[in-house]
Amino acid sequence: MPYQQDYFSYSTNPRQFLQEAQEYNNHTETSGHRVPFSTYWYHEVSYRNLTPPQQKWYFYWRSQLRSGRFLPNDLSYIFLYTYEVLNLVGFEDAESAYQQLVRIWQHYRSISLPMDRYEWVVWNPRQYGNVRIHPIDRYLVDWIADFVRIHKLSTSAIDWYTSASSEGAVLTDLHLMVYSWLNSRKAITEMNNDVLFALASYDPTYNKFYQVFHQAFSLEDVYVRALSAIYSYLQSSGTDIATLFAYSQGTHVIKRTPFERALHTYSRKKIQILPIPLHVNHETLKVNLTGIIKYTDNLFRQRAGFSPKLRGFELPPEWATAIDRAFAIRPAPIEIDFSHASKISAESEAIRARLIDQTVEPSATNADEALGIEPPIDEKVSPQDHEQHQFRKLLHVFRQNKWQVTEDILQFAFEGVFVRVLIDQFNEWAYDLIGDTPIVEETDGQLTLLEDYREEISLLVDDTF
């Protein structure tokens, strides 16, 4: 077919697309150079959107794909080929086309995309927020289910959804998402983070703490481990596991127009995909999972000395205890370096001998270093008094600067002191008394003593010290 020069001038009619696809079915290229191709809407892609170099690359890539080599490619090319498969172009039967659709989804669902190219779906307009989904999961998962239903394949729609969700796909329907996961009968520890964060309607990977400390604490693993700890607690305590997902009564029927936004020649009438039992109360599920994620986050924030803590969540005390136990730090076995211990012992004996003989003036600093003890802060001020003095001074600096200061200002006021350590010590002291950390770091880097606690903290400092 001759190349059309007006390739961006109009969208392709589905029947026209099918005719062109059948004419191009046997067209191949023996070589090709990848040429970028991206349209704003994936459903607008067609052969007429391709320039000659793009067409050459597409048909080379397609020939490789048909022989089992899944070369890297742009999403727009992938969607164009998917339309061919949906329309059975190049396939003798629906079963082989189905297998190819699954392979496309498995090989290309992890393709890297900027976040603004992800798609949004609404799980429940009244009770639940939007969920962000990778475009391949957003469309191909449902298209494959539609394909299974229309062609009445041996694989059922729920079998396909169960397989997809167990591999980490976020589905476009919340009830189906929960039911498919439970139907997979996989252990909670195998749940994908994308699935967990979508169900919770909260993603901790965007906050500053995660971005700074995720490698140091292997944070990509901790949230599912916390969920597993709650699940184990519920099982051991004889509590109904349904508490976690808040089971509901009734049946949820999924009906839709097949192959949303795809170029196809199937009927546009709605079809029933499958009925599923209602398993979830949206708001309860969100509260439960968000509480688990945020509590776990705060646990590691405290461990990292990261002052700002997450708020606005609820968690039963028994659940918090289960998470604490799951991440309890077990003391490492003590290993004594006897050669080093002998050296310290010899140095200590030498110092002791010199002091007894009074042959030299004792050097407290040298003795402390030899024994591994920090030198005293001040001979006239005890460590406890020194801490009290520092806390009073810290509060005074915040008052003088209208309760918000930069780290440089604090460092100037506390010369020779690690102010971050001082702030953590102050927050730990305050937490024992008021149950929260009053000093937080704002997004611009400034440190703020929260207004809710200023009066109470001032009274506590004055009364305690």
- The pLDDT of residue 379 is 43
Q: Report the Cα 276 to chain-centroid distance in Å.
A: 28
- The pLDDT of residue 81 is 97
Residue 34 lies inside a defined structural domain of this protein: no
Q: Specify the higher pLDDT residue, 248 or 270.
A: 270
Written as six digits, the tokens of 211 are 């971005």
CA quadruple 222, 224, 227, 233: dihedral positive or negative?
negative
429 shares a domain with 365: no
Residue 347 lies inside a defined structural domain of this protein: yes
Average pLDDT, the chain: 81
3-state secondary structure of 253: strand
Residue 204 lies inside a defined structural domain of this protein: yes
Across the range 305-330, mean pLDDT stands at 88
- The pLDDT of residue 442 is 82
- The pLDDT of residue 298 is 93
- Cβ-contact 102, 74 below 8 angstroms: no
Residue 171 lies inside a defined structural domain of this protein: no
Residue 439 lies inside a defined structural domain of this protein: yes
CB burial of residue 287 (10 Å; 0-12, 13-18, 19+): middle
Across the range 361-377, mean pLDDT stands at 37
Residue 452's domain comprises: 383-464
Residue 396 lies inside a defined structural domain of this protein: yes
- Report phi then psi at 415, rounded to 5: -60, 130
193 shares a domain with 315: yes
Across the range 215-230, mean pLDDT stands at 91
310 shares a domain with 418: no
Per-residue pLDDT at 378 exceeds 50: no
Nearest CA to 59 out of 17, 91, 27, 100 is that of 27
Nearest CA to 193 out of 232, 227, 235, 160 is that of 227
Residue 307 lies inside a defined structural domain of this protein: yes
CA distance 305 to 300: 8
- The pLDDT of residue 125 is 60
- Report phi then psi at 141, rounded to 5: -60, -45
How does pLDDT run across 44-71, given as a tens digit for each residue? 788 988 999 999 999 999 999 999 999 9
CA distance 113 to 256: 27
Element (H, E) at 133: strand 130-133
Per-residue pLDDT at 394 exceeds 80: yes
How does pLDDT run across 129-184, given as a tens digit for each residue? 678 899 999 999 999 999 999 999 999 999 999 999 988 898 998 888 888 888 88
Across the range 318-329, mean pLDDT stands at 91
Nearest CA to 8 out of 41, 57, 33, 56 is that of 41
301 shares a domain with 205: yes
pLDDT band at 247, cuts 50/70/90?
low
Across the range 193-220, mean pLDDT stands at 87
Q: Specify the higher pLDDT residue, 28 or 243.
A: 28
419 shares a domain with 302: no
Per-residue pLDDT at 387 exceeds 80: no
Q: Specify the higher pLDDT residue, 415 or 125.
A: 415
Per-residue pLDDT at 318 exceeds 60: yes
Per-residue pLDDT at 449 exceeds 70: yes
pLDDT band at 337, cuts 50/70/90?
low
- The pLDDT of residue 437 is 84
- Cβ-contact 146, 271 below 8 angstroms: yes
Per-residue pLDDT at 89 exceeds 90: yes
- The pLDDT of residue 357 is 53
CA distance 453 to 440: 12
- The pLDDT of residue 402 is 87
pLDDT band at 203, cuts 50/70/90?
confident
Q: Specify the higher pLDDT residue, 125 or 79.
A: 79
CA distance 36 to 53: 10
- The pLDDT of residue 362 is 37
321 shares a domain with 196: yes
- The pLDDT of residue 162 is 94
| Number of structural domains the chain divides into | 3
Q: What is the CATH number of the domain that holds 426?
A: 1.10.10
Written as six digits, the tokens of 307 are 């002052």
